[in-house]
Amino acid sequence: MPEIFRSLPKVPYEGPQSKNPLAFKYYDEDRKILGKSMREHLPFAMAWWHNLCATGTDMFGPGTANKSFGAPVGTMAHAKAKVDAGFEFMQKLGIGYFCFHDVDLVPEADTLAETNARLDEITDYIKVKMADTGIRCLWGTANMFSNPRFMNGAGSTNSVDVYCHAAAQIKKALDCTVKLGGRGYVFWGGREGYETLLNTDVKFEQENIAALMRMAVTYGRSIGFTGDFFIEPKPKEPMKHQYDFDAATAIGFLRQYGLDKDFKMNIEANHATLAGHTFQHDLRIAAINGMLGSVDANQGDYLLGWDTDEFPFNVYETTFCMLEVLKAGGLPNGGFNFDAKNRRPSYTYEDMFLAFILGMDAFALGLIKAAQLIEDGRLDAFIKERYASFAGPLGQKIRAGEATLAELAALAVQKGAPALPGSGKQEYLESVVNAVLFGG
Ligand code: XLS
Ligand code: NI
Ligand code: NI
């Protein structure tokens, strides 16, 4: 097998003092943090689509990066070259997992039968590579948003034939995910939403999406899929409004349709910020509902209103993410999928390596700092103290749901006007965070 990234080495850990661009400064895979190795805390995944398929095309011009990997684009030879490139890349970076859409793996054919045959062929090829390298599949999904037939969505479409086609794609993508031992199956509702309410029956569409998900669960379980189904919330783009707006909305939807036992959230940083939240907010909402499943690790640009899918760089964000993940006890069937792409002018093979080094180091540093914040204890102690008034008999009664409104009203009269509830000390807490992050 000819080496594709010939001039690029296996990336070593060299520590924060290293000036070697092709070395990790923080990601030291065997280093133990809170009793577990960094590798165990951070199951990193490569997104097939961004890393092996996307060339930097945008609305104003064609791609700048060559991702042919020596084979004619659009052929099965190219599909295999992408597998070769992907596995060499993951091995050189020390990445343990990958994520894929059906049509990232093979070019879509004119018939489902032919596309499915191609998927069988490529997954056989991938399986051999997996056995050789120990690299595993984090999650699979079906691309139900690129082909023009999905212009009105898949589950939300007005066309029963398109709906049927979507079911076929999900079935096959589940077959492939199970064949590759994937730990999760993702629904990102790319076009599950609307452009205008003037032509849309929202209730009808949401019921149909739920029915499609229910069929997927039934089928998945019947073929031995024991992992988690994930919804990946996103408020908009490509549609003006998407039904899985944010974690809270998606969780409400799952509960309404009785899907909450089988589904968790795949939280993407840039989607949370598009919804007007922080990344940490959506992670927290998922976590407190027992639905923090997986993470699409990227970041947006606060000055731009779209999904820029940048590699994670902001260490405050990765620290707060890892704080949520550590407190939730990790991601049993999830991981950190770099749903991120190089900027268009960063078009070389070396840039692909540098981008993952940045992202993996940003998360490793976030993990180190989140663990230090937990060990430091001042944030947790402050929060505990902040609610201390509920620790007494009255608070306990309220928490147990045993108090009545009339009883509390009578007590309030007896007690007279309450004192102010105590300072929130946000500025102090922020200075604690900075001391832990930068105090050496
Ligand atoms: C797009 C989404 C997509 C999903 C997988 O914004 O992030 O890449 O992760 O379909
Ligand atoms: Ni995205
Ligand atoms: Ni994503």
For 225-238, how does the pLDDT look when each residue is reduced to its tens digit (9 = 90+)?
999 999 999 999 99
Asked if residues 398 and 390 have their Cβ atoms less than 8 Å apart, the reply is: yes
pLDDT band, residue 314 (cuts 50/70/90): very high
- Residue 36: the pLDDT is 98
Task: Over range 9-16, report the average pLDDT.
Answer: 98
* Same domain (yes/no): 291, 400: no
Centre of ligand 3 from the C-alpha of residue 150, in Å = 18
Residues with CB under 5 A from ligand 3 (ion): 268, 296, 339
Centre of ligand 3 from the C-alpha of residue 275, in Å = 14
* Same domain (yes/no): 85, 221: yes
Residue minimizing CA distance to atom 4 of ligand 1? 188
CATH of the domain at 201: 3.20.20.150
Q: 103: domain range?
A: 32-376
**Which atom of ligand 1 lies closest to the CA of 298?**
7
Ligand nearest to the backbone CA of 101: 1
What's the burial of 224, exposed, middle or buried (CB within 10 Å: 0-12/13-18/19+)? exposed
pLDDT in tens, 134-191: 999 999 999 999 999 999 999 999 999 999 999 999 999 999 999 999 999 999 998 9
Asked if residues 156 and 191 have their Cβ atoms less than 8 Å apart, the reply is: yes
Ligand nearest to the backbone CA of 308: 2
pLDDT in tens, 236-285: 999 999 999 999 999 999 999 999 999 999 999 999 999 999 999 999 99
Residue minimizing CA distance to atom 5 of ligand 1? 188
- Residue 2: the pLDDT is 77
Examine residue 367 and state whether it is found in any structural domain, yes or no: yes
- Residue 1: the pLDDT is 66
For the entire predicted model, the pTM comes to: 0.98
* Same domain (yes/no): 305, 411: no
**Which atom of ligand 1 lies closest to the CA of 237?**
6
Asked if residues 233 and 271 have their Cβ atoms less than 8 Å apart, the reply is: yes
Centre of ligand 3 from the C-alpha of residue 86, in Å = 18
Mutation probe of ligand 1 site: the residue of 143, 244, 296 with most atoms within 8 A of C-beta: 296
Examine residue 267 and state whether it is found in any structural domain, yes or no: yes
* Same domain (yes/no): 406, 365: no
Centre of ligand 2 from the C-alpha of residue 298, in Å = 8
Centre of ligand 3 from the C-alpha of residue 139, in Å = 11
| Rounded CA separation 353/304 (Å) | 25
- Amino acid letter for position 97: Y
What's the burial of 7, exposed, middle or buried (CB within 10 Å: 0-12/13-18/19+)? exposed
Residue minimizing CA distance to atom 7 of ligand 1? 339
| Rounded CA separation 380/377 (Å) | 5
Name the residues annotated as catalytic: 101, 104
Residue minimizing CA distance to atom 3 of ligand 1? 188
* Same domain (yes/no): 116, 199: yes
Asked if residues 254 and 232 have their Cβ atoms less than 8 Å apart, the reply is: no
> What mean pLDDT value characterizes the chain?
98
Q: Which residues have any ligand 1 atom within 6 Å of their CB?
A: 101, 141, 186, 188, 232, 234, 268, 296, 307, 339
Total domains in the chain come to: 2
* Same domain (yes/no): 272, 357: yes
The tokens describing 75, both together, are 């052929």
Examine residue 27 and state whether it is found in any structural domain, yes or no: no
* Same domain (yes/no): 266, 359: yes
